[in-house]
């Protein structure tokens, strides 16, 4: 036994193994921890051997899942032991128990460094392993140079160098500055010529990390990667021990192809040709074989090759070859390959032109939905969701519905959400959509969120053809003995609104409708009762001539709920009761709901927000780009200028206000006070606390339609205004028509943020996002404007004019007139500072979206402090300079009184963000801050600027 050298440890492990249950194990472990703790307390009496033994025990206990919150110091101290066995324990246990932020690690940096630069290869390996596993920023700063040396040293053995490569990778991740791009790019290329496969594999991992951050600097490595791939896949020029089940190092092949995917394209035609030759060879030369391990390895390479082909956007022929391969994979016996086949097919959906080929495999994919493996079922669901469009929606959604009854619990929520989204986006006709959603609620009511049934109500309300159909369907579902509460809600709502359309059919008389809805009443929760009450009120209203018996029944219910503890229910009951006694005016007030304004589905938006997984994200993105089915466009209620057709009606008010004259018709009833104090008031412009608006509040996606037109645009902006005019709004709409496009976020705040940093968003509205990236060098600057079209339609008549103040010279490159859908264009803008001034440049930007012309004027963050460059001065320089400045205009002094002083560190931070270097310790008074900087302009050249801020605390206020 390997550990028999430490009998105590073996005994302990045996004891733990022999424990009958978790409780016994805990007792045994606690006893041991107590023992170790006592022994560590008296460290002097501890031999290195004993220390080693106890530290191993700690690791074992830690691995069993217990907290080990002591003894870290002992583990770390073993690192500096002179002998291998203790040192090794120290390194291994430290790497497992501690993380990079642990304070004790700092104590070890020196020892670790000595081991790395020492001559002992074994110690080097141990030290590199520790740093590579848990090294943090401090390690990066103090060890990176040594590690680099080891990696490129010709005297080191591969055993050490391969560890150095990965160690450097870790340090680079912790602090990217440790690898100097200029010097390292050539070295990296040389490393890729390495013959030793171990070192080459590690170097390739390092390259992947480097190119993922900055591929431009490592262009020279690209042909080397292709060479490596040729060497492995084509020439099989590789030592025997690196072939794995006959495949030349699959890991290195995979890593190399990963690295290649970080380069945007392969430009050199020769390199491109050789790369495609190798890829072709991989694609064609892989077969499914009996040996599982060989299969895995060859397919690892193959799937990576597929990803690379997709990335390189190969010719269509090669793409269809890939899809054909994937089609083969999703039907094979080997589950791993089925899984990856489905996953990669989902990725493939992003590639244009292959969707149709993928659709040919639909039947097979649907079969995978019934795979015994849940991992595969999930992938199949993703793929079906991604590939669905108008042509196959009916089949796919119906499959999903069918699958819903047998699906695992864990998948049902996702499944129903996806089915609902697909049904909405791609419905061939509306009645089908209603069928699908009702089935969905019926089969998986628990997993159907409110958004889904709200959406169905919206569609039914907005499409008259659908109303009687939906009512009939709802009635059918109510016949079932046990239905989900959501079904009660949606059926009650639809029957209340549209039940009367079917009044002539047998079984649809008001009385019968009421009875069938009211049957469900005892089973529902408080959230449903308000809907039932509304529904009753509507039924009552539609009963013409009134039936006294029904009226009494319903009034009894209203009466009962007038004293309900739930305010919503109580209010409704009271109001409906009062309203229903009004006779004819009831007809007007409770008339049918107006149509909903068109809006994005909350469901789809939620789905877009929620999904983060890469494969899914791609599917979602694709969704967004696809054309929606035209059947389901909510009837557009608005004239093209975006103004609502019925501005006086809240979008969700169940109570339709026929005119604004309710009050004048019934002057006596303006305020209807009830015994229990509920005041009813008819407001022609229902605010958000609308009678029913609250209940259906989530339906509201836009604000009340009146708000857009009314939003105050009183803020003004002067183009010549100084930046200190803090309250000047940066945006002024030109003319009325731009009133309908509102900026997202506060333009002023965005501007001020950009004054302090060099990249960010300058402006955003629902159609466009304008981002800025800037670089400043002395008196010159280079800004890049990123104009991103957020829509699926192009933006036209794009115009950008720069209105520079007199002190700035600005040149904007050509701005294209149209921005294609979902595209971003970059427009560089050169800036030169002629002389100091506080004026600000303005960007006059306009575009046309549909019929709407939008124009905004935006301040550009080319402000004074951008032309500052921090500089540090010594006391010997500062004070003579300071004194030599005599007074205005060269030296200005300002005393600000009566303000609460900013804490000193905050003040210093503020200075630094303005590029004024705070020189600590320069002024002996700790309450004073001294800072220096250089200002650049063409006329003044570099100009030293000094700042001194002094804080006086006045003893009395007056």
For the segment 158-197, give every residue that binds other proteins (CB under 8 A).
159, 162-163, 166-167, 169-170, 197
336 binds other proteins (CB under 8 A): yes
CA 249 – CA 236 distance, rounded (Å): 9
Tell me the C-alpha distance between 652 and 646, whole Å: 12
Buried b (16+ CB within 10 A) or exposed e, 939-954: eeeeeeebbebeeeee
Work out whether 44 is an interface residue with other proteins (CB under 8 A). Answer: no
Residues 512-551 that bind other proteins (CB under 8 A): none
| 346 near other proteins, judged by CB under 8 A | no
**Least Å from the CB of residue 200 to other proteins:** 11
Q: Does 373 engage in binding with other proteins (CB under 8 A)?
A: yes
CB of 84 to other proteins, least distance (A): 6
**In 3D, which of 937, 877, 872, 957 has the Cα closest to residue 911?**
872
Hey, what are 718's tokens? 């002067």
Binding to other proteins by residue 2, rule CB under 8 A? yes
Q: Considering CB under 8 A, how many residues would be counted as binding other proteins?
A: 74
718 Cβ neighbours under 8 A, 6+ residues apart: 725, 728
- 133 near other proteins, judged by CB under 8 A: yes
Compute the least distance from the CB of residue 239 to other proteins, in Å. Answer: 8
Establish if 945 lies at the interface with other proteins (CB under 8 A): no
Which range touches other proteins (CB under 8 A), out of 84-92, 105-113, 661-669, 936-944? 84-92
Sign of the Cα torsion 680, 682, 688, 692 reads positive
Task: State which residue, 415 or 541, has the beta carbon closest to other proteins.
Answer: 415
Residues 266-295 that bind other proteins (CB under 8 A): 293
| 614-625 helix and 374-387 helix, angle to the nearest 10 degrees | 20
Residue span binding other proteins (CB under 8 A) among the ranges 67-75, 247-255, 598-606, 908-916: 247-255
What is the pattern of x (binds other proteins, CB under 8 A) and - over residues 101-130?
--------------------xx--x---x-
Q: Which is nearer to other proteins, 52 or 412 (CB)?
A: 52
Among 338, 475, 500, 542, binds other proteins (CB under 8 A): 338
For 254, the 3-state DSSP assignment is: helix
252 or 699, CB closer to other proteins? 252
User: Is 93 buried (19+), middle (13-18) or exposed (0-12) by CB count in 10 A?
Assistant: buried
DSSP 349: T
Establish if 5 lies at the interface with other proteins (CB under 8 A). Answer: yes
Closest separation between CB of residue 212 and other proteins, Å?
8
Of the two residues 82 and 903, which places its CB atom closer to other proteins in the complex?
A: 82
- 7 marked ligand binding residue: yes
CA 480 to chain centroid, in Å, comes to 42
Q: Which of 17, 119, 883, 900 binds other proteins (CB under 8 A)?
A: 17
User: CB neighbours (10 Å) of residue 607?
Assistant: 20
Residue 351 labelled as part of a binding site:
no
Task: Return the residues of window 436-455 that contact other proteins according to CB under 8 A.
Answer: none
Look-up of token digits 């999903």: 400
Give the footprint of other proteins on residues 382-411 (CB under 8 A): none
Site membership for other proteins, residue 254 (CB under 8 A): yes
- 768-777/780-789 β-pairing: antiparallel
Contact between 1 and other proteins per CB under 8 A: yes
Give the 3-state DSSP-derived string for 651-669, with helices as H, strands as E and coil as C: CCCCCCCCCCCHHHHCHHH
Q: Is 281 annotated as a binding residue?
A: no
**To which H or E segment does residue 797 belong?**
strand 796-803
Options 250-258, 524-532, 729-737, 907-915: segment touching other proteins (CB under 8 A)? 250-258
Residues 6+ apart with CB under 8 A from 302: 282, 283, 286, 325
Element (H, E) at 782: strand 780-789
183 labelled ligand-binding: no
Does residue 783 come out as left (phi exceeding 0), alpha (psi in the -120 to 50 range) or beta?
A: beta
Among 53-61, 139-147, 357-365, 916-924, the segment contacting other proteins (CB under 8 A): 53-61
Residue 96 in contact with other proteins, rule: CB under 8 A: yes
**88 contacts other proteins (rule: CB under 8 A):** yes
* CA pair distance 547, 543, nearest whole angstrom: 7
**Is 681 one of the annotated binding-site residues?**
no
Q: Among candidates 447, 445, 384, which has minimal Cα distance to 410?
A: 447
Tokens for 735? 């003319």
* Residue with smaller CB distance to other proteins, 340 or 579: 340
Binding range to other proteins, per CB under 8 A, among 157-165, 387-395, 468-476, 594-602: 157-165
Residue whose CB is less far from other proteins, 125 or 537: 125
Nearer to other proteins, 63 or 645 (CB): 63
Stretch that binds other proteins, among 137-145, 369-377, 678-686, 712-720 (CB under 8 A): 369-377
Task: Report the C-alpha gap between 952 and 958 in whole angstroms.
Answer: 14
Distance (Å) of CA 344 to CA 60, 289, 302, 363: 41, 21, 11, 17
Residue closer to other proteins by CB (options 130, 800) is 130
782 among annotated binding-site residues: no
Note whether 758 and 773 are within 8 A (CB). yes
If the CB atoms of residues 228 and 462 are measured against other proteins, the closer one turns out to be 228
If one asks whether residue 198 binds other proteins (CB under 8 A), the answer comes out as yes
Q: Which two tokens stand for residue 533?
A: 């009450």
- Of 132, 499, 594, 739, the residue at the interface with other proteins (CB under 8 A) is 132
> Which of 280-288, 348-356, 370-378, 743-751 is the region at the interface with other proteins (rule: CB under 8 A)?
370-378
Contact 793, 849 (CB under 8 A): yes
Query: CB-based contacts of 486: which residues, under 8 Å, 6+ apart?
Result: 441, 445, 448, 450, 453
Rg (alpha carbons) of the chain, rounded to whole number: 37
Among 51, 361, 378, 443, binds other proteins (CB under 8 A): 378
Closer residue to other proteins, CB minimum distance, 59 or 699 = 59
Of 242 and 385, nearer to other proteins (C-beta) is 242
Residue 486 token pair: 């959501």
Cα→Cα distances 88→79, 162, 311, 320, 421, Å: 7, 19, 44, 54, 57
Nearer to other proteins, 92 or 529 (CB): 92
- The reply, when asked if residue 51 is annotated as ligand binding, is no
Report the site for other proteins in 558-617 (rule: CB under 8 A). 612-614
339 near other proteins, judged by CB under 8 A: yes
Give the per-residue contact string, 203-232, with other proteins (x = CB under 8 A; - = no). --x--x------------------------
34, 183, 285, 335: which one binds other proteins (CB under 8 A): 335
The half-sphere exposure of 883 on its side-chain side, counting CA atoms within 13 A, is 5
Closer residue to other proteins (CB): 120 or 625: 120
653 binding other proteins? (CB under 8 A): no
Would you say 83 or 581 has its CB closer to other proteins? 83
End-to-end Cα spacing for the chain? 86
Of 36, 61, 78, 92, the residue at the interface with other proteins (CB under 8 A) is: 92
Closest CA to 651 of 452, 463, 461, 456: 461
Query: Considering only residues 219, 244, 432, 555, which one is a binding residue for other proteins as defined by CB under 8 A?
Result: 244
Q: Is 55 within any annotated ligand binding site?
A: yes
**Own/partner pairs for 313-321, CB < 8 Å, 24+ apart?**
313/265, 313/351, 314/276, 314/279, 316/353, 318/276, 318/279, 318/280, 318/283, 319/351, 319/353, 319/354, 320/354, 320/357, 321/283
Nearer to other proteins, 415 or 918 (CB): 415
Query: Three-state DSSP class for 881?
Result: helix
Known binding residues:
7-8, 49, 53-57
């Amino acid at each position: 036994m390997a550990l028999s050298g430490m009998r105590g440890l073996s005994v302990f492990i045996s004891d733990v193994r022999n424990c009958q249950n978790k409780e016994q194990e805990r007792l045994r472990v606690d006893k041991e921890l107590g023992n170790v703790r006592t022994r560590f307390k008296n460290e002097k009496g501890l031999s290195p051997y004993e220390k080693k033994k106890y530290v191993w025990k700690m690791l074992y206990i830690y691995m069993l899942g217990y907290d080990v919150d002591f003894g870290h110091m002992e583990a770390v101290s073993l690192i500096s032991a002179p002998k291998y066995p203790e040192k090794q324990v120290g390194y291994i246990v430290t790497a497992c128990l501690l993380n990079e932020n642990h304070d004790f690690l700092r104590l070890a940096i020196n020892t670790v460094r000595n081991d790395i630069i020492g001559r002992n290869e074994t110690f080097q390996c141990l030290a590199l392993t520790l740093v590579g596993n848990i090294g943090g920023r401090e390690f990066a700063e103090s060890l990176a140079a040594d590690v680099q040396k080891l990696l490129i040293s010709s005297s080191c053995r591969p055993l050490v160098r391969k560890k150095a490569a990965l160690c450097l990778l870790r340090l680079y991740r912790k602090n990217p500055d440790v690898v100097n791009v200029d010097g390292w790019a050539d070295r990296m290329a040389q490393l890729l010529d390495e013959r030793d496969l171990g070192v080459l594999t590690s170097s390739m991992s390092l390259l992947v990390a480097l190119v993922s951050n900055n591929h431009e600097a490592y262009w020279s490595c690209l042909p080397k990667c292709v060479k490596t791939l040729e060497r492995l896949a084509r020439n099989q020029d590789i030592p025997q021990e690196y072939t794995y089940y006959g495949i030349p190092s699959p890991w290195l092949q995979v890593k190399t192809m990963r690295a290649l995917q970080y380069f945007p394209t392969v430009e050199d035609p020769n390199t491109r040709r050789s790369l495609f030759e190798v890829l072709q060879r991989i694609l064609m030369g892989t077969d499914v074989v009996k040996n599982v391990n060989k299969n895995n390895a060859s397919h690892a390479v193959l799937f990576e090759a597929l990803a690379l082909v997709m990335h390189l956007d190969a010719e269509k022929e090669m793409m269809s070859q890939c899809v054909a391969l994937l089609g083969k994979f999703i039907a094979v016996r080997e589950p791993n390959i089925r899984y990856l086949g489905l996953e990669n097919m989902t990725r493939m959906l992003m590639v244009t032109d292959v969707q149709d080929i993928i659709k040919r495999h639909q039947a097979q994919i649907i079969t995978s939905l019934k795979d015994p493996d849940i991992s595969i079922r999930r992938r199949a669901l993703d793929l079906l969701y991604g590939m669905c469009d108008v042509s196959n929606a009916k089949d796919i959604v119906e499959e999903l519905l069918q699958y819903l009854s047998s699906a695992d619990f864990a998948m049902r929520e996702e499944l129903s959400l996806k089915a609902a989204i697909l049904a909405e986006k791609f419905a061939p006709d509306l009645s089908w959509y209603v069928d699908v959603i009702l089935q969905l609620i019926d089969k998986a009511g628990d997993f159907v969120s409110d958004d889904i049934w709200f959406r169905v109500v919206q569609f039914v309300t907005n499409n008259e053809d659908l109303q009687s159909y939906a009512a009939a369907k709802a009635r059918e579902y109510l016949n079932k003995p046990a239905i989900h509460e959501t079904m009660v809600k949606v059926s009650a709502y639809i029957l209340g609104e549209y039940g009367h359309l079917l009044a002539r059919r047998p079984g649809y008389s008001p009385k019968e409708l009421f009875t069938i809805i009211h049957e469900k009443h005892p089973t529902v929760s408080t959230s449903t009762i308000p809907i039932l009450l509304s529904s009753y009120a509507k039924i009552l209203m539609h009963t013409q001539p009134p039936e006294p018996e029904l009226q009494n029944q319903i009034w009894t219910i209203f009466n009962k709920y007038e004293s309900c503890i739930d305010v919503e229910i109580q209010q409704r009951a009271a109001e409906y009761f009062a309203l229903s006694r009004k006779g004819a005016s009831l007809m007007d007030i409770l008339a049918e709901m107006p149509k909903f304004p068109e809006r994005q589905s909350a469901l789809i938006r939620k789905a877009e927000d929620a999904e983060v997984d890469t494969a899914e994200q791609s599917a979602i993105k694709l969704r967004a780009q696809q054309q929606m089915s035209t059947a389901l466009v909510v009837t557009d209620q608005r004239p093209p200028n975006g103004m609502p057709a019925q501005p006086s009606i809240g979008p969700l008010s169940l109570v339709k206000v026929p005119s604004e004259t309710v009050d004048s018709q019934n002057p006596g009833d303006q305020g209807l006070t009830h015994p229990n104090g509920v005041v009813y008031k008819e407001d022609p412009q229902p605010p958000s606390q609308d009678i029913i608006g609250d209940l259906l509040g989530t339906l509201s996606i836009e604000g009340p339609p009146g708000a857009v037109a009314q939003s105050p645009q009183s803020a003004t902006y002067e183009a010549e205004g100084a930046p200190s005019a803090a309250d000047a709004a940066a945006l002024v709409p030109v003319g009325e028509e731009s009133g309908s496009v509102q900026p997202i976020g506060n333009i002023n705040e965005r501007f001020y943020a950009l004054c302090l940093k060099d990249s960010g968003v300058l402006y955003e509205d629902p159609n466009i996002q304008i981002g800025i990236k800037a670089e400043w060098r002395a008196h010159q600057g280079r800004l890049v404007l990123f104009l991103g079209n957020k829509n699926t339609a192009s933006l036209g008549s794009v115009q950008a004019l720069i209105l520079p103040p007199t002190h700035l010279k600005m040149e904007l490159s050509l701005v294209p007139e149209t921005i294609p859908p979902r595209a971003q264009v970059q427009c560089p803008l050169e800036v030169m500072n002629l002389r100091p001034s506080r004026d600000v440049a303005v960007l006059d930007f306009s575009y046309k979206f549909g019929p709407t012309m939008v124009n905004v004027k935006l301040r550009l963050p080319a402000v004074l402090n951008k032309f500052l460059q921090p500089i540090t001065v010594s006391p010997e320089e500062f004070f003579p300079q300071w004194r030599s400045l005599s007074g205005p205009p060269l030296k200005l002094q300002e005393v600000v009184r009566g303000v609460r002083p900013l804490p000193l560190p905050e003040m210093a931070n503020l200075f630094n963000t303005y590029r004024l270097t705070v020189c600590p310790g320069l002024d002996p008074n700790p309450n004073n801050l001294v800072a220096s900087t250089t200002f650049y302009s063409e006329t003044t050249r570099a100009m030293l600027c000094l700042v001194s801020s002094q804080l006086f605390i006045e003893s009395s206020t007056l």
